[in-house]
Amino acid sequence: MFSRLFGKKQEEKTQDEIRLEESLKKTRSGILGRIGTIFQENEITEELWDELEETLIMGDVGMATTQELLSATRARVQRENIKAARDAYLVLKQEMVKLLETDEPLHIEEPRILTVVLVVGVNGSGKTTSIGKMAHYYRQRGLKVVLGAADTFRAAAIDQLKIWGDRAGVDVIAHEPGADPGAVIFDAIRASQESRKADLLIVDTAGRLQTKFNLMKELEKVRAVAGKQVHKAPHETLLVLDASTGQNAISQAKAFKETAGITGLILTKIDGTSKGGAILNVKRELGVPVRFVGTGEKLEDFAYFDPVAFVTGLVGE
């Protein structure tokens, strides 16, 4: 089934697939790009597996994930009696896809009166930028989008969100700096339902408060306010991670995951890193899927995460 998905002709690919593949140029031109060369050998030898192992580890894939990938690939090659290295390469890519794919649907484009998406993450990870891009993405797909400025801790944060709101052509509901974020989300939901008649509300939150404890308390409160006003809100809580920080991003994410009820990830800055291999660990370590990726600094540099396009971009066709 997968083999049909790999090797799509260029003209069959969606904009998102092309954007995702191309943004991984930096990673592919580094260590992981060598994987294709390893499998150009005719035969499958012990040296080939050793070389693959070394390349994955050097390519930031991480020890545990590397071992898991290797043993799953080798087991299938043996079971299916695969003899050609080219065919084993396809098995490897399929196993990479398995590490990233999910059965859980993204709860955004479902029929409901108002969808609420909370965006969380440490400061500088790319939350506000991603929210602007996501607003543009869904607006282009016909949804009426509103943004909520619940990062009231940093004075400039509200203005930054308003700038992105202007770029995307969507309304931003905000209070003064220092206001209660619970009150902001309350008003943002009411405005989305009443005057704006929006389909999708995306809420920016603080990346830092005086203490991590306060930050988590604040997120909990924002979630509770949303849940009281809209059935099952927030429908998605997306954690923004800067992909260029590799393994560090994962330890940060663990702290958020415990209290903030994360349902998915937005990986930013994959265009600027050679460490894209680390992304293969993310779902294994955090237990939540990647949903979107930031592929640059502009409004349209945003793509839906597709595991097949990602693996193609990571290691090549």
Ligand X SMILES: Nc1nc2c(ncn2[C@@H]2O[C@H](COP(=O)(O)OP(=O)(O)OP(=O)(O)O)[C@@H](O)[C@H]2O)c(=O)[nH]1
Interacting residues with ligand X (CB under 6 A): 121, 123-129, 157, 207, 268-269, 271-272, 294-297, 301
- Per partner kind, with CB cut-offs from 5 to 8 A, the member of ligand X, Mg ion, none near residue 125 is ligand X
| 114 CB burial (10 A radius; 0-12, 13-18, 19+) | buried
Interface region with Mg ion, contact rule CB under 5 A, candidates 8-16, 57-65, 149-157, 185-193: 149-157
* Inter-helix orientation angle 181-193/212-229, to 10°: 30
HEC per residue, 163-196: HHHHHHCCEEECCCCCCCHHHHHHHHHHHHHCCC
Site for Mg ion in 83-122 (CB under 5 A): none
In 3D space, the residue among 171, 125, 62, 167 whose CA is nearest the CA of residue 269 turns out to be 125
- Per partner kind, with CB cut-offs from 5 to 8 A, the member of ligand X, Mg ion, none near residue 264 is none
- Residue 114 or 206: the one with the smaller Cβ distance to ligand X is 206
Distance in Å, CB of 245 to ligand X, minimum = 12
Residue number closest to ligand X, CB atom: 294
Distance in Å, CB of 151 to Mg ion, minimum = 6
Instruction: Please report whether residue 66 would count as binding Mg ion according to CB under 5 A.
Output: no
Size of site (CB under 5 A) for Mg ion:
3
- Per partner kind, with CB cut-offs from 5 to 8 A, the member of ligand X, Mg ion, none near residue 296 is ligand X
- Per partner kind, with CB cut-offs from 5 to 8 A, the member of ligand X, Mg ion, none near residue 268 is ligand X
Kindly state the helix (H) or strand (E) to which residue 212 belongs, with its residue range.
helix 212-229
CA separation for the pair 269, 295 (Å, rounded): 6
- Per partner kind, with CB cut-offs from 5 to 8 A, the member of Mg ion, ligand X, none near residue 126 is ligand X
Distance in Å, CB of 117 to ligand X, minimum = 15
Kindly state the helix (H) or strand (E) to which residue 264 belongs, with its residue range.
strand 264-268
The single residue listed with the structure tokens 């904009």 is: 15
Distance in Å, CB of 107 to ligand X, minimum = 22
> What does the longest C-alpha to C-alpha distance in the chain come to?
66
- Residue 127 or 235: the one with the smaller Cβ distance to Mg ion is 127
CA separation for the pair 288, 214 (Å, rounded): 24
Distance separating the N- and C-terminal Cα atoms of the chain? 17
Instruction: Please report whether residue 128 would count as binding Mg ion according to CB under 5 A.
Output: yes
